[in-house]
Homo-oligomer: A and B are copies of this chain.
Amino acid sequence: MTASGSPVRQSSVRAHNLALVLRTVANSADRPSRAAISTSTGLTRATVSALVDDLIAGGLLTEHDPAPRTGAGRPAAGLALSPAGPAGLGLEINVDYLAACVVDLTGDVRHRFVTQSDQRRLSPSASLASLGGLALRALEAASADGLAIAGAALAVPGLVAPNGIVRVAPNLDWQDVDAPALLNVLPGLGGLPITVDNEANLAALGELRADSGEQSFLYVSGEIGIGAGIVLDGELYRGGRGWSGEIGHVTVYPDGRPCRCGANGCLEQYAGQEQIAADADLAASALGIALAAVVNLLDISVIVLGGTYAPEFPRLRPGIEAELARRVLTAGLAPVTLRAAALGPDAAMRGAAGAVIQALIDDPAAFLIRTA
* Cross-chain contact B3 with A24 (CB below 8 angstroms): yes
CB-CB < 8 A to A213: which residues of B? 1
Please name the residue on chain B nearest to A28 by beta carbon. Answer: B3
Q: Mark A21-46, 1 if CB is under 8 A from B, else 0.
A: 00110011100000000001111000
**Per-position contact with B for A1-35: 1 when CB-CB < 8 Å, else 0?**
11111111110110011011001100111000000
Partner of A3 from B5, B41, B261 at Cβ < 8 Å: B41
**Set of chain B residues within 8 Å of A330, measured between Cβ atoms:** 159, 241, 243, 246
Counting chain A residues whose Cβ lies within 8 A of the other chain, the interface size class is 35 or more
* Interface of A toward B, CB cutoff 8 Å: 1-10, 12-13, 16-17, 19-20, 23-24, 27-29, 40-43, 47, 159, 167-168, 212-213, 216, 228, 230, 232, 234, 237-247, 249-254, 261-263, 266, 289-290, 292-294, 296-301, 326-330, 333-334
25 sampled A-B residue pairs with Cβ under 8 A: A1-B29, A2-B27, A3-B23, A4-B23, A8-B13, A8-B16, A10-B10, A159-B330, A167-B333, A168-B333, A230-B298, A239-B299, A239-B300, A242-B299, A243-B299, A244-B298, A245-B297, A245-B299, A246-B296, A246-B299, A250-B297, A251-B292, A254-B289, A261-B329, A263-B326
Given contacts A4-B27, A7-B43, 15 further A-B contacts (CB under 8 A): A2-B27, A8-B12, A8-B17, A230-B297, A240-B301, A243-B299, A243-B329, A245-B299, A246-B296, A246-B329, A246-B330, A249-B329, A250-B296, A263-B327, A290-B293
